Amino acid sequence: MGGDHGPAETVPGALAARREHGVPVTLVGRAGELHRELRRHGAAGEVGVLHAGDVVPMAERGAGAAARPGSSLMVGCELARRDGAAFVSAGSTGAVVTCAVRVLGRREGVLRPALAVALPSLTGATVLVDAGATADPTPEMVAQFALLGASYARNVLGVGDPSVGLLSLGSEPGKGNRLAREAARLLPALPVRFHGNVEGHDVLAGTVDVVVTDGFTGNVVLKNVEGSVRTTLELVARAGIAAPERLREVGRLYAAETHGGAALLGLAGTAVVAHGSSRSAAIARACVVARDLAAESAPALARGPAGPGPVT
């Protein structure tokens, strides 16, 4: 029910995940609306539907969502916990994080979960964490995001010994605001290969394998990357200096329908948060990401104790 477009995009996205990628899916939300969309796509009875009569508004920030036990977010998280499934939503990020933490729980020792997105870079991929789960973390949380991001890079992306950089406004030691400076003092003592400070232009350059920051900054960086790529490619296309099909290939690397969504790390379960603006292709990709994360990640900080199950 979440996202800017609701069932009109989530239902065909879920169907595409099932039909094209073999992902078993259960839809959670207002059953009448979901069944109407399924019939519209000639898919009556093709996927499971679990009724949840309440819907958390996109403007809901967090705590209020957990106080609505009959919402599709809470019911979906409960189903994921009970069945060992992965949970996917394009709803309000704050609400999804709150409900997932409340129902799935955090892994032992994790202060706050963090959203991780693997962005294409000149050297392969760079994990950006936190991409929007915790806007105002403590320095201890930011330092712990480095552990979560390194675990994701190692166990999901196959990076043997991932390097970690702290996003700041200068690469020199001591640069940055108070949060960055205090986090930088904590990171050298952690079991990660800490590179030091990195700057915004390092995110896509592949300077490090993991870029760590607070959720506010990380979300701004993520959306700026997506917007900058679109704008730059459009300007190149208008100038006529590259073949349109090649430009589209590059653009797809950074499109939501390619990376699908952000993995919510640090939970005792698997959850993926898709863009609120996601269309069906992005929803389908988010379901695939959730399925693969549950099946392949195995690190304690990124998946739950149960084996991989269906996607909710």
pLDDT in tens, 128-148: 999 999 999 999 999 999 999
Residue pair 50/78 in contact (Cβ under 8 Å)? The answer is: no
Q: What is the DSSP string of 91-152?
A: S-HHHHHHHHHHHH-BPTT-SS-EEEEEEEETTEEEEEE-SSS-SS--HHHHHHHHHHHHHH
Mean per-residue pLDDT, 121-131: 91
Average pLDDT of the residues in 240-259: 76
H-helix or E-strand spanning residue 287: helix 280-296
- Per-residue pLDDT for 300 more than 80? no
In a domain, 260, yes or no: no
Domain of residue 154, residue span: 114-253
Residues 101 and 132 grouped into a single domain: no
At residue 174, the 3 state secondary structure works out as coil
- Band of pLDDT at residue 247, cut at 50, 70 and 90: confident
- 48 and 143 both lie in a single domain: no
Q: Is the pLDDT at 203 greater than 90, yes or no?
A: yes
Q: What is the pLDDT of residue 306?
A: 31
CA gap 119, 29 in Å, rounded: 31
Coil, strand, or helix at residue 162? coil
Q: How many CA atoms lie within 13 A of 210 on its CB side?
A: 35
Same domain for 199 and 119: yes
Residues 158 and 273 in one domain: no
Task: Determine, yes or no, domain membership for 307.
Answer: no
Please check whether residues 271 and 233 belong to one and the same domain. Answer: no
Does 174 lie in the same domain as 134? yes
Task: Give yes or no: residues 184 and 133 share one domain.
Answer: yes
Q: Which of 32-36, 66-70, 116-120, 252-256 has the highest mean pLDDT?
A: 32-36
The verdict on 96 and 156 lying in the same domain is no
Residue 165 within a domain: yes
pLDDT the model gives residue 309: 45
For residue 312, the model assigns a pLDDT of 58
What is the arithmetic mean of pLDDT over 203-213?
95
pLDDT for 178? 95
pLDDT at residue 295 greater than cutoff 90? no
* CATH number of the structural domain spanning residue 40: 3.40.718.10
Residue, of 308 and 192, whose pLDDT is higher: 192
Judgement on whether residues 82 and 174 belong to the same structural domain of the protein: no
* pLDDT, mean of residues 259-272: 87
For the chain, the domain total comes to 2
Element (H or E) spanning 272, and its range? strand 270-273
- pLDDT surpassing 90 at residue 200: yes
The pLDDT value recorded for residue 308 is: 35
Mean pLDDT across the stretch 152-178?
92
Residues 224 and 197 in one domain: yes
176 occurs within a structural domain: yes
Residue 185: predicted pLDDT: 95
Q: Is the pTM of this model over 0.75?
A: yes
Q: Are residues 138 and 202 in the same domain?
A: yes
- Is residue 285 located within the same domain as residue 179? no
The number of CA neighbours under 13 Å toward the Cβ of 238 is: 6
180 belongs to a structural domain? yes
> pLDDT at residue 45 above 50?
yes
Reduce the DSSP state of residue 26 to 3 states and report it. strand
Q: Does residue 82 register a pLDDT over 60?
A: yes
